[in-house]
Amino acid sequence: MSKRIVLRKVSAEEKQAVRRLARARKESVELVRRAQMIKYMMEHPEVPASRAGMRVGFGSNASGTYWVKRFNENGVEGLQDKPKSGRPVTHTPEVRSRVIDLAVQKPSSLGYCFALWTLERLRVALQERYEYRLSRATIWRWLDDEGLEWKRQQSWFHEAEKHDPEFVEKRGPSFGRM
């Protein structure tokens, strides 16, 4: 039979912090549930950690034991999630801000010979101005995240070989001209 995990003596400051977290509305659900379990164990020391965990909504007996051990070792900070593994952030918020700042300006006001940005033009301008090497997909995603809608540039002009020589006759008279 496994050893029963007992909640250590909790200081007054920790009790206050646990109670605040247990009723929090702006913290993650998981953190609130963990704090509720510790609070429940403070109020009912006779209840085993596994049962306290199930009482507050954990899916397994082991969860309660795990979080009590973490709390016993690290206090209230032990209830927080550990940092997740994964690829580190490649670009700082400053880089992202410069991309957005450049994208919302008219290229002609910055000395470029064109009036509208394309993803490729924006990518080249960022490389020239700041030496940032960003993909078009990254630029597109950041603009989309900012709520900026990227429109594809359309032109009424086509290549000469695709031009229909009978276009005017087929189209008919323009509006207002009869």
**Span 100-157, pLDDT tens digits:** 999 999 998 999 998 889 899 999 999 999 999 999 999 999 998 888 877 766 655 5
pTM of the model: 0.50
In this model, does residue 1 exceed pLDDT 60? no
- Please give the structure tokens belonging to residue 105: 């300006």
In DSSP notation, the chain reads -PPPP-PPP--HHHHHHHHHHHT-SSS-HHHHHHHHHHHHHHH-TTS-HHHHHHHHT-SSHHHHHHHHHHHHHHGGGGGSPPPPPSPPP-S-HHHHHHHHHHHTS-GGGGT-S-SS--HHHHHHHHHHHH-----HHHHHHHHHHTTPPPPPP--S---GGG--TTHHHHH-SPTT--
Q: Residue for token digits 């247990």?
A: 22
Question: Which pLDDT value is given to residue 171?
Answer: 67
Q: What is the mean pLDDT of the chain?
A: 86
Q: Assess whether pLDDT exceeds 60 at residue 176.
A: no
Between 150 and 53, the higher pLDDT residue? 53
Residues 39 and 29: their CA atoms lie apart, in Å, by 15
Q: What is the mean pLDDT of residues 86-102?
A: 88
The better pLDDT of the pair 88, 33 is held by 33
B/e letters for 138-148, b = 16+ CB within 10 Å, e = fewer, are bbeebbeeeee
Cα–Cα distance between 29 and 95 in angstroms, integer? 32
Q: What is the C-alpha separation between 21 and 36, in angstroms, rounded?
A: 8
Q: How confident is the model at residue 83 (pLDDT cuts 50, 70, 90)?
A: confident
pLDDT at 178 over 50: no
Q: What are the pLDDT digits (tens) for 128-141?
A: 999 999 999 999 99
Q: 39 and 19 in contact (C-beta within 8 Å)? A: yes
**What is the predicted pLDDT for the residue at 147?**
83
- Amino acid at position 162, single letter: K
Q: What pLDDT does residue 41 have?
A: 94
